[in-house]
A and B are shown apart, each in its own frame.
Chain A
Amino acid sequence: MRGAMTSLPHYRAIPATDLVIRPLADITLLYHRPSGQTHMVASPVPEILAALGAHPLDSHAIHARLATCYDLGDPDEARAAIATHLAEMAALGLIRAA
């Protein structure tokens, strides 16, 4: 169990100056300065971005942070969903693998 926990990928935020975040009523707009790309994202992506800082975190640690503010339902399902989002966000350059 301990080995499985330590093998989870860790992520950290990219520099705050690299990302312009503009929440609209229903979705959030992101402008990624390094690529010049615009992304339209919905929950939980903005919440994951807000939870991440310079310190590397894995999906379990992010789940623990988000669970203090949001009702995330079944913990295992929520952690798996967060892990999928993290991988997608890293592929887009919105966060960085640590």
Chain B
Amino acid sequence: MKHRIALTIGPASFRIGAAWRAPVARLAALYHDYPAPPGGIADFTVRLDPVRPWRRYIRPSIHITGDHGLADAAPMALAHGLLAAEMGMNLQMALGWRRHLLLHAACVEKDGRALLMTGESGSGKSTLAAMLGERGWRFMGDEFALLDPATGAVHAFPRLISLKNSAIAAMEAQVADAARFGPLLRGTAKGDIRHLRPRADAIARMDRPATPALLLFPRYGQPVDIRPVDPGECFMRLTQASTNYTALGEAGFDCLSRFVQTIPAQAIDFPDGNSALALVDDLWNALR
């Protein structure tokens, strides 16, 4: 690979290579606080390849490959190279990570205890985690929460926060440091996307695990509502939200069944960010 960068995100490390300078330069700028892989050896390799060699020069388009690949990982326009690198890292984690039970969830921490939020894309979990990360919580990740089968602790995977559509302006209004934002990517498969680098303290403390304390199933765009979610429903939804539950076998079963038996869970509906923050405050304070 002509251009490359290596970085560590939580317990995982990546080597990212591309035929073009631009996506790697953008990654280097946005990930400059993240350490290099320990011993210089990365867990995963992500390659952003030209779809055809000559297309590097005419109408450039990127194809994501790596240690683990999906046949239908769609080629993307070069302008979205940063997004392709992010998707490539997520793909490697989703398909290749075995050290933890991987939950598709956002996660924030306060006083050593973690709040996990899981839901489909568009549920608001990413935006909510980003907002909490600017309000005294440590941002641990907006895509994957990593549960340790041995201890039950949750480990951080605080990659860049992927802000979508209306969340972009909302976070631009709350984060004064413009250098923490990536370029605005218009017209992706998920609409407009802009990446936000987590606060420096979230990156500096990314190797510290936390004890799970509360699980939320957020749903944006609905009137305010709170509903307890019983352990059976939690288990079912979390197996669906895990990309490696089956691969971990009995260790995954033990980890997830202990999690749902001990962690209270609520489904929360909210019409806007401020309502969501108020709901989270109430539910978190009620734990004590």
Contacts and interface: CB of A to CB of B under 8 A. Distances in A.
Contacts of A22: 253, 257, 261
B67 interface: no
B246 A29 contact: no
A29 B235 contact: yes
Contact of B246 (A25, A36, A40): A36
Interface of A: 20, 22, 24-27, 29, 31, 33, 36, 38, 40
B200 interface: no
Interface of B is mostly: helix
B115 interface: no
A26 B253 contact: no
B253 A29 contact: yes
A36 B251 CA distance: 11
Give the 6 A-B residue pairs with the shortest CB-CB distance, closest first: A27-B232, A24-B231, A31-B253, A22-B257, A26-B232, A24-B232
Interface string B201-237: 0000000000000000000000000000011100110
Given A24-B232, A31-B253, A36-B249, 7 more contacts: A20-B253, A20-B254, A25-B230, A25-B232, A29-B235, A29-B257, A36-B246
A24 B235 contact: yes
B265 to A, nearest CB: 11
B260 A24 contact: yes
Contacts, number: 35
Contacts of A24: 230-232, 235, 257, 260-261
B239 interface: yes
A20 B231 contact: no
26 contacts: A20-B250, A20-B253, A20-B254, A22-B257, A24-B230, A24-B231, A24-B232, A24-B257, A24-B260, A25-B230, A26-B230, A26-B231, A26-B232, A27-B231, A27-B232, A29-B253, A29-B257, A31-B253, A36-B246, A36-B249, A36-B250, A38-B239, A38-B253, A40-B232, A40-B235, A40-B236
Nearest to B233: A26
A33 B250 contact: yes
Nearest to B231: A24
A25 B236 contact: no
Contacts of A36: 246, 249-250
Contacts of B235: 24, 29, 40
B100 to A, nearest CB: 18
